């Protein structure tokens, strides 16, 4: 769970950049809706939306609270997605060949095999 919060904390830098960049394009004035971030770790999503603290996560530092604040302020939206639909998985872990091909096709890459 800790690794996911670190990743979302780092993603917040990109979210802040997008929120400043998009209005400069003069296409839209601002981004009204929270930007969706997907997570295949359901306890992480539940814990991020929960206002209670847990003994299991007392080692999580300030980065956790920053992510939680951004969710509460509707800057980002953290949503659960099943592992089967997580298209970034081929970039982060080994997958069975059939699932790997499906994910690569879902990303839009052509299979060269």
In this prediction, residue 26 carries a pLDDT of: 85
In this prediction, residue 113 carries a pLDDT of: 47
DSSP state of 34: P
68 and 15 co-located in one domain:
yes
In this prediction, residue 93 carries a pLDDT of: 80
18 and 47 co-located in one domain:
yes
111 and 56 co-located in one domain:
no
Q: How many domains does the chain have?
A: 2
In this prediction, residue 77 carries a pLDDT of: 94
Q: Which range of residues forms the domain containing residue 113?
A: 84-113
pTM of the complete model: 0.72
In this prediction, residue 34 carries a pLDDT of: 92
Q: Which has the closest alpha carbon to 35: 6, 64, 66, 76? A: 76
pLDDT lower than 50: segments of the chain: 113
39-70 per-position pLDDT tens digit: 988 988 988 888 766 665 555 678 888 899 99
């Amino acid at each position: 769970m800790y690794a996911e919060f670190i990743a979302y904390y780092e993603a917040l830098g990109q979210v802040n950049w997008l929120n400043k960049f998009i209005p400069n394009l003069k296409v839209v004035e601002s981004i009204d809706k929270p930007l969706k971030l997907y997570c295949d770790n359901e306890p992480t999503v539940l814990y991020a939306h929960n206002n209670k603290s847990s003994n299991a996560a007392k080692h999580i530092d300030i980065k956790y609270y920053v992510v939680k604040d951004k969710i509460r302020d509707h800057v980002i939206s953290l949503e659960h997605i099943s592992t089967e639909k997580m298209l970034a998985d081929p970039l982060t872990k080994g997958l069975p060949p059939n699932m790997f091909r499906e994910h690569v096709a879902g990303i839009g890459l052509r299979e060269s095999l």
